[in-house]
Amino acid sequence: MDPLPSFFLTLLLVSFLGIRFRIPPMFNLVGGALFLGILIGMPPDQLISVITTGLGRIFAMFALIILSGAIIAAILEEQGDIQQIVHDIRNHSANPYTISGLSGYLLALPVACSVTAFIILSPVVKGLGSGEKTRTLLLYCVAIGSLISFGLVYPTPAVIPLVQSLAPDLSPALYDALALPLSILLLFCFLLLFRFWFGSCDKPESMANGPGNSPQKTVSSSEKRNLRAYAPFITILLAIPVGLAIGISHGALIQVIMLAGAATAIMTAAPGIRAAGLQRGTKHAGVIIFDICGAGALAGVILSSGFSETALGQITAIIPVLLVPFVLASLIQTAQGSRVVTAVLTAGILAGTQVTEVIHPVALIIMIAAGCFVFSFVTDPFFWIVSRTTGDDFAQVIRRYTIPLALCGAALYLAALGMQLVVSGG
């Protein structure tokens, strides 16, 4: 069968199995890879080899990063250091919406997972609102704040494959010099719109009275700043110039600095907390790693199918080249829900094609990132986590999560399009 209809049939199958039977992403995506390989007539031995190679490539790329981030997050949570970080943010803002969104934005970067950041912060930010409605809205601010940084800022698992596949010669520092201000601007525009759209802002309560805060983990306003809470992040930042000075490549640098951050968290933790944090972090990381490894299997089969050479020409005949990255990422994101999977698949499909020759690398990466925000609904695991945590029904989650994310994606695409037009001279 032709690669283009085979690809869309595979996305439909993955979507159906994920929604109807809630099959875990690892098995669902590997099953999709097998299905696609059979449709395009790939020999069995070659199909299995391609799948295992794809799995191994993603494991090598992300395993240490995600494991390190999960360990950092688990140890910080065990020690109550997350409350300390949120408390410090409160010293610079009395607006609970800003505190919640910014906390999610910042924590998602070192823990390398937006879902982990949301789960950790949820019981903390509930204490920042005086009413049930406000507490619920603050959870949405955490969720979308964490997704903005996770989807745009290097080095997160959603951005690394885009930079490495589409702009291998681009300095990550140069990319972040453009992506960071854009992501922060998007965050604060979202927070303003969210507050205006959904209601007035309540004054924050004491964190000591917020749900989910045990007495031993409460941080009073008179306590000195706990440097232990920031030690892993400080180590990560300091390790960057050291790694560059000794000649470590960008791809290896992210592995080294995340390991350094995890080692710092482990060494500064008390023995009991250290053991519990390592156990929880390793377990959580394992689930995430295997899920995204399934994306590597599917990506490997897609690339071996000749999709990029045959199908992309058909797509560009239907829509303008400048829309292709955004539309393709949106379709993949809608079909299977994982932003990392979307990044891996879209980067693999577009690498070395006409699209990369026409569009500036930074604008191209941001266009794909924009597509990862559209449309996050029932296939998105985060959708159901947000629904369970907030207690909102399906329609409310669509209104407060899916639609705002889609608006963020549209705004990002317009920003990337403007960037491309400026670079190309109109």
- For every residue of 76-124, DSSP letters joined together read HHHHTHHHHHHHHHHTT---HHHHHHHHHHHHHHHHT-HHHHHHHHHHH
More confident residue, 150 or 211: 150
pTM: 0.78
The torsion of the CA quartet 154, 159, 164, 167, rounded to 10 degrees, works out to -80
Residues 150, 165, 297, 58, Cα dihedral to 10°: -60
Query: Tens digits of per-residue pLDDT, 345-390?
Result: 899 889 888 899 999 999 999 999 999 998 887 668 788 888 888 9
Q: How confident is the model at residue 291 (pLDDT cuts 50, 70, 90)?
A: confident
| Residue 141, phi-psi category: left (phi > 0), alpha (psi -120 to 50), beta (remainder) | alpha
Which one, of 156, 138, 140, 149, lies nearest residue 105 by Cα?
149
Q: By C-alpha distance, which of 276, 282, 343 is closest to 63?
A: 282
Residues 6 or more apart whose Cβ sits within 8 Å of residue 415:
182, 366
What pLDDT score does 220 carry?
Answer: 44
For residue 188, the tally of other CB atoms under 10 A from its CB is 14
Instruction: Give the C-alpha separation, 20 to 209, whole Å.
Output: 41
pLDDT at 168 over 70: yes
- Reply yes or no on whether the pLDDT at 202 is more than 70: no
- For residues 184 and 156, give the distance between their C-alpha atoms in angstroms, rounded to a whole number: 16
Would you state the pLDDT for residue 217?
43
DSSP one-letter code for 221 = T
Spatial contact of 136 and 391, defined as CB atoms under 8 Å apart: yes
235 close to 266: Cβ distance less than 8 angstroms: no
Most confident of 8-12, 46-50, 393-397: 46-50
Task: Supply the Cα-derived Rg of the chain in whole angstroms.
Answer: 21
Nearest alpha carbon to residue 172 among 154, 156, 184, 158: 154
Mean pLDDT over all residues of the chain? 85
Question: Taking the mean position of all CA atoms in its chain, how far away is CA 311?
Answer: 27
> CA-CA distance, 105 to 184, in Å (whole number)?
9
